Amino acid sequence: MNNNDLVAKLWKLCDTLRDGGVSYQDYVNELASLLFLKMCKETGQENDFLPQGYRWDDLKNRIGQEQFQFYRNLLVHLGADENALVHAIFQNVNTTINAPKQLTELVSNMDSLDWYTGTKGKSRDDFGDMYEGLLQKNANETKSGAGQYFTPRPLIKTIVHCVKPQPREVVQDPAAGTAGFLIEADRYVKAQTRDLDDLSTDDADFQIHRAFIGLELVPGTRRLALMNCLLHDIQGNLDHGGAIRLGNTLGSDGENLPKADIVMTNPPFGSAAGTNITRTFVHPTSNKQLCFMQHIVETLVPGGRAAVVVPDNVLFEGGKGTDIRRDLMDKCNLHTILRLPTGIFYAQGVKTNVLFFTKGSPTNKRQDKNCTETVWVYDLRTNMPSFGKRTPFTEQHLAPFEKVYGDDPHGLSPRTEGEWSFNAEEAEIADAEENKNTDRHQATSRWRKFSREWIRTAKSDSLDISWLKDKDSIDADNLPEPDVLAAEAMTELVQALGDLDALMRELGAGDEADAQRTLLNEAFGEVKA
């Protein structure tokens, strides 16, 4: 049975859990524990990870109340295991299954699945791919809220293909989620090195134990990420509990991360203001996304490269936002911005972008002034469908961008304005500053360049650059579905609340801000501005 079929059948087994009152967000946690035990059994790695008496057959050969009690004891035992990685994965893990009959049915059905393709059993990577499939199915269930930890895999793959991680480069994700960026970076390096076989013993060891570092704030999500890494043979630094550390990037944990050659990340967005910022940044702000941007610039080594998913407000927010963008363009070569379509993340109304930059200038990696000379922008948002379950976002939508980005991971490949995929050539041109003194053919391209001087003088250092007119904005027949419009409006309102809250606190009106929060909480329940 192929991996996709197994993922579908494993997810179908969750019907048993749902009937017993287990929520979507607990599905993968339950399956993760059982899948780990089954993986060790099928790949012959039980001696590597599991103590005698706490293995798949020990669980399978019991039924009813005895099996249920044994399973609970097994989770506790593995949570205290001397293997640092197993300990980190199972620490404080409890089962949400309440009925012994449910567990027996789940284990029995899982054991009866065909874990072979032809005569060949599943490898560790096969189990990793299956686990990724389960994470994706969980993220697609809107009620679970798990989507906020899951960046669309086509986007991750494109980012990795553009940044091109190499052996012995340290890759960091300071908002690791389920470790999608690190997994794809590892997959890319393995594909270039025949599954690390082309590397020396020392280089291969570096890739397994030191190349990938993530930091995740939420313990449950960190567990999912650790499991994901282990199933893909990324063990990480065992002194720190594996490749994914538990902690706050905007506090001392972030300061203590090793410097990185590459940062690829999708920091949390939605509510901009945060109260867990305990670290001193050059440009103090309560906007978490802007703080993440400062962390990324600080953590990169000279010549290091980054690709960061950010919401629109990072591109245009004034005050400290402007200062942080100027600092970024001074210290780094911000060479590329990808404007993403709406609907590809868990929140329909969120408008996002990917910023690609290299620390230093193209000629001097230690330069820290005037490093950005030209910014290239690819507009994959205007006149694109609103993506979702009915219109999936796939790799083919990103292929034109990858082509114009070029082969150089620092964005230094020869580039020419002009890319008219997805009917861009037929688009109308917005009456905007971007289109002055530009011929019509060039102005309808999705791929254009803008000088640092123009951004400074014409845009006042805003990076919210668009030039195509969105036909949906004037054609009511083509408007998104009402729920999408409502989600966009709610997102903008929440963002505005966060910005106002941050402004009041920066003005020293924290008590008044707290009073307004109290009023909102009374009206709508718990509101996090």
Would residue 364 count as lying in a domain?
no
Residues lower than pLDDT 70 in the chain: 18-25, 118-119, 141-149, 270-275, 346-349, 431-441, 472-485, 488, 495, 506, 521-529
Of 120, 164, 137, the closest CA to residue 307 belongs to 164
Q: Tokens for 401?
A: 């961008």
- In a domain, residue 39? The reply is yes
Helix (H) or strand (E) holding 388: none
Query: What per-residue confidence (pLDDT) applies to 435?
Result: 64
Answer yes or no: is 104 within a domain. Answer: yes
Q: What is the pLDDT of residue 529?
A: 39
End-to-end CA distance of the chain: 47
pLDDT of residue 527: 41
Using the Cα atoms of residue 377, residue 380, residue 382 and residue 383 in order, give the sign of their dihedral: positive
* pLDDT tens, residue by residue, 326-380: 999 999 999 999 999 987 875 556 789 999 999 999 999 999 999 999 999 999 9
Please report whether residue 491 resides in a domain: yes
Tell whether 263 is covered by a domain: no
User: What phi, psi does 20 have (nearest 5°)?
Assistant: -95, 10
Q: Which residues contact 363 (CB under 8 A, 6 or more apart)?
A: none
3-state secondary structure at position 104: helix
Q: How far apart are CA 120 and CA 38, in angstroms?
A: 16
The answer to whether the beta carbons of residues 488 and 390 sit under 8 Å apart is no
In sequence order, what are the residues at sequence separation of 6 or more whose Cβ sits closer than 8 angstroms to the Cβ of residue 277?
250, 251, 286, 288, 291
Sign of dihedral through CA atoms 357, 362, 367, 370?
Answer: negative
Q: What is the pLDDT of residue 352?
A: 92
Residue 290 included in any domain? no
Residue 35 lies in a domain: yes
Q: Report whether 170 contacts 185 (CB < 8 A).
A: no
Please identify which residue in the block is written with the tokens 């410097």.
259
Domain edge (last residue) among 112, 136, 160: 136
Name the 3-class secondary structure at 441: helix
Of 117, 136, 155, which residue constitutes the final position of a domain?
136
CA dist., res. 526 & res. 506, Å (int) = 23
CB-side neighbour CA atoms (13 Å) of 429:
16
Q: Tell me the C-alpha distance between 141 and 329, whole Å.
A: 38
Q: How far apart are CA 321 and CA 414, in angstroms?
A: 31
62, part of any domain? yes
Q: What is the CATH number of the domain that holds 51?
A: 1.20.1260.30
What residues have CB less than 8 Å from 159, skipping those under 6 apart? 181, 264, 307, 354
Choose one of 136, 165, 189: the last residue of a domain: 136
**Global pTM?**
0.84
Reported as a single tens digit per residue, the pLDDT across 24-56 is: 667 778 888 898 999 999 888 899 999 999 999
Task: Give the total number of structural domains in the chain.
Answer: 2
Name the amino acid, one letter, at 105.
Answer: E
Q: In which domain, by residue range, is 496 found?
A: 482-524
